[in-house]
Amino acid sequence: MMTELADNIRRYRRRAGLSQEELAHAAGVSPGTVRKVEQGGTVRMETLHALARALRVTTGALMASDAPEPVGRTEEPNRLNLLRLRATLTPAVGLVDGDAQAVAEEPSLRGFSRTVRDARVLYFSDSYKSVAGQLPDLLRDADKAVAYYDSGEDHRQALLARAETLRLAGTYLTQVRQYDIAYAALRSAIADARQAGDMLAAGSGVGGMCWLLVRQGRLEEAERIAAQSMDVVEPRISGAAPDQYAVWGGLAMEAAAAAARNNRPGEAREYRKAARVAAAAVGTAHRNVSRHWSVFGPVTVAMKALEDSMVVGDARQVDSAALFGYAVSR
C-alpha cells in the first residue's frame, strides 16, 4: 500500500502551490511519474529524494507508514536459505530453559580470530555463499569462548572476538537484505564491544547499524546515532591514534550519507567537513579491519561524497573541496 506516501506528496505539493507538472519540472522527473506516485504507484528512492528536494522537505516526511502487502515465499528466497543462521542469531524461546552447552576444551582465541579474518576475506571477495555457510558455526564458537573465559582479560578478548563475528554477520545480512536478523547481530556486536570497554570497536558496530538503517529508509535515526557516537569517540587531543580518527571519520561519513538522502544538504556538508578533518589527520589510507573494516583516508571520504551525490541525484550535495580532495588523492 502506497496510499500514505501518495497523500503526503499531494499534500506537500498543494502546500507549495505547485501543479503536478510544476513539481515534475522542479524535481527533474516526468509529469507521469508524479501522477503515478499520487495515484498510489510505486516509486524509487532516488525519485523520492528528488521530490523531497523540490518540495523543500525531508525525505522522511514523505515516507509512507502503511502496512506492506503480503508476499509469497518465492519473493524472498533468502528467508529459507538462511534458516541455520537465523536460528543461531534468534534462537527459539519457550518455557523450559535450553541445556547449557558445556565447553570441554579451552578455546583458542588466536585461532578463532584467524578464522573470522578468513571469513571476512571471503565476504570482501563476494563469496557470500561461503560466508553464510561458516557464520552459524563461527557464532556458536564465539559463544563458547565467552562462556569459557568468564572473567579477566581473556573474557574481554572473547567479547571482542564475538563482537567482530557478529559485525561480520550483520554486514553480510544487510548486504543480502535480511534486515531483521542483521539488526539482531549488529545490536549484539555493539553491546559486546561496549561491555569489553572498547568504544572504537563499538563505534565500528554503530557504523554498520547506520548502513542498515539507511538501507531501511530510517534516515533520521541513522544520522542521530552516528552524530551521537561521534561525540563519544571524537579525538580530544592532538596526535590521537589513527584508529580513533578513522572510526570518528567513518561515523561522520555515515551521518553525511543519511543527511544527504534525507534532503539535509547543509548538515551533510558539515559532516563531510568533519570526515575530511579526520582524513587529513590520518594523512594516507589507513586500514584496521578489526575495528572499522575498511580503508579510511582522503580518497575514501571524497569517493563517499561522490557516491552520496549520485544516489540522491544532486551534484550540489558535493562541495568543491571534496572534489578537489578526490582529484589530488588519486
pLDDT at position 16 is 86
pLDDT at position 144 is 92
Helices 20-27 and 31-38 pack at an angle, to 10 degrees, of 120
Q: Are 178 and 76 in contact (CB under 8 A)?
A: no
- Find the length of the chain: 330
Is residue 323 predicted with pLDDT exceeding 50?
Answer: no
Task: Give dist(CA 211, CA 170) in Å, integer.
Answer: 10
Q: Are 165 and 117 in contact (CB under 8 A)?
A: no
Contacts of residue 64, defined as CB under 8 A and 6 or more positions apart, other chains included, come to 1, 2, 3, 4, 5, 8
pLDDT at position 3 is 74
State what percent of residues in the chain have pLDDT above 90: 44
Element (H, E) at 266: helix 265-282
Whole-model pTM? 0.81
C-alpha cell at 131: 560466508
pLDDT at position 330 is 37
Is residue 230 predicted with pLDDT exceeding 80?
Answer: yes
310 against 12, higher pLDDT: 12
As a whole number, mean pLDDT of residues 232-253 equals 89
pLDDT at position 65 is 59
Task: Give dist(CA 79, CA 132) in Å, integer.
Answer: 12
71 against 45, higher pLDDT: 45
Task: Give dist(CA 288, CA 60) in Å, integer.
Answer: 34
C-alpha cell at 17: 502551490
Q: What is the per-residue pLDDT across 277-320, written as a single tens digit (0 to 9) for each?
A: 998 888 877 776 555 556 788 887 887 777 776 666 654 545 44
Is residue 43 predicted with pLDDT exceeding 90?
Answer: no
106 against 312, higher pLDDT: 106
Give residue 180's Cα distance to chain centre: 13
Q: What is the per-residue pLDDT across 172-227, written as a single tens digit (0 to 9) for each?
A: 999 999 999 999 999 999 999 999 999 999 999 999 999 999 999 899 999 999 99
